[in-house]
Structure 1
Amino acid sequence: MTTITLEELPNYTGKHVGQSPWKNISQEMIQAFADATGDHQWIHVDVERAKNEAPWGAPVAHGFLTLSLIPQLNQSAMTVTGPAATINYGMNKVRLPAAVKSGSDIRSTIELISVEDIDEKRVLATYKTVIEIKGEDKPAVVAENLAMYVKP
């Protein structure tokens, strides 16, 4: 786990700032996401059909499930100390190059792209997050995600 103070953060621009531990994507997690979002497409939830008919030979996680894990993965990879609050401010760019098969392990690798003072109370950091799939050549996610740090 990398720990960086808010004051030190600009010194890390252009640098790798963290890598999360591996996280398993279970079929139960995929099913729960399908239930929460109403997206029950067979490639996600019909295990037998996906094994026989899907191009991956297995059910796959929803791309938005994998994307939604960025905060959890990144928080286990790095922390910025000093802000009163950290707000998920959104994304600039997102690509989903590869599907995550049920049972796969994923992890995030984080690079700090930029840090910008918005005003005397807010700092906007832009990160490049890549979610790797263990044993696969292509990543599951490549995203430019934004964190707004609110000073105390």
Structure 2
Amino acid sequence: MEKIVVSSFEEFKALEGAKLGISDYLKISQEQINLFADATLDHQWIHTDPERAAKESPFKSTIAHGYLNISVLPFLWEQVAEFKNVKLMVNYGIDKLKFAQAVTVNSEVRLVAVLDSVVNLRGVVKAEIDVTLEIKDQRKPALTGKLIFLYHFN
């Protein structure tokens, strides 16, 4: 699917209700998990100890932090949509976030995005994007939710 390009509120509004796109797959490596553990001070063994996880975890390997999965969403969103004529974009919130399945080390994830709503709030555009973080070759997604962004178009 080709990346969408949006340059104004009107162009964005015209896409309301549409499936905006699907990102490329992103592999979640042990190095990335370890760096995230360092950044967040969350070194729980299920994330950072491959040997123990292989023996004791129900997943038989380490898993990505749930918040790591959330944190890659903006990166993947940039693969789906490009915004021109924007002076500022702000992450405003996440609604109805649900973790459906663990992401085991070396799994590949991708974003599927559907534009739920776009509202012009006195010059600031509030967009609500229904997101699914799919795991390659898995029936259940890693997570689902609604990302909320504020766009300040020029």
TM-score tier after normalising by the smaller chain length: over 0.9
Higher mean C-alpha deviation, range 86-95 or range 123-132 = 86-95
Counterpart-to-counterpart distance in 2, 1:48 and 1:82:
49
**Residue number among 59, 65, 68 corresponding to 1:65 in the alignment:** 68
Q: Look up the match of 2:119.
A: 116
Counterpart-to-counterpart distance in 1, 2:121 and 2:113:
22
Unaligned runs of 5+ in 1: none
Q: Look up the match of 1:53.
A: 56
Asked whether the equivalents of residues 93 and 145 of structure 1 are also in contact (C-alpha less than 8 Å), the reply is no
2:5 matches 1:26: no
Shift of the alpha carbon at 1:80? 2.5
Higher mean C-alpha deviation, range 57-66 or range 2-11 = 2-11
Shift of the alpha carbon at 1:79? 1.5
Counterpart-to-counterpart distance in 2, 1:113 and 1:14:
5
Report the secondary structure of 1:84's partner residue. Answer: strand
- CA RMSD between the two structures: 1.0
Q: Percent sequence identity over matched residues?
A: 36
Q: Look up the match of 2:88.
A: 85
For 2:142, the aligned partner's letter is A
TM-score normalised by L of structure 1: 0.96
Shift of the alpha carbon at 1:111? 0.3
Asked whether the equivalents of residues 116 and 124 of structure 1 are also in contact (C-alpha less than 8 Å), the reply is yes
Q: Look up the match of 2:110.
A: 107
Counterpart-to-counterpart distance in 1, 2:87 and 2:110:
27
Q: Look up the match of 2:138.
A: 136
Unaligned runs of 5+ in 2: none
Q: Deviations over 1:50-75 (max 9, x none)?
A: 11111111100000000111100111
Counterpart-to-counterpart distance in 2, 1:110 and 1:79:
13
For 2:58, the aligned partner's letter is P
For 2:80, the aligned partner's letter is A
Counterpart-to-counterpart distance in 2, 1:2 and 1:10:
13
Q: Look up the match of 1:16.
A: 19
For 1:48, the aligned partner's letter is E
TM-score normalised by L of structure 2: 0.94
Counterpart-to-counterpart distance in 2, 1:111 and 1:5:
18
**Residue number among 4, 7, 18 corresponding to 1:2 in the alignment:** 4
May I ask how many residue pairs the two structures share in their alignment? 151
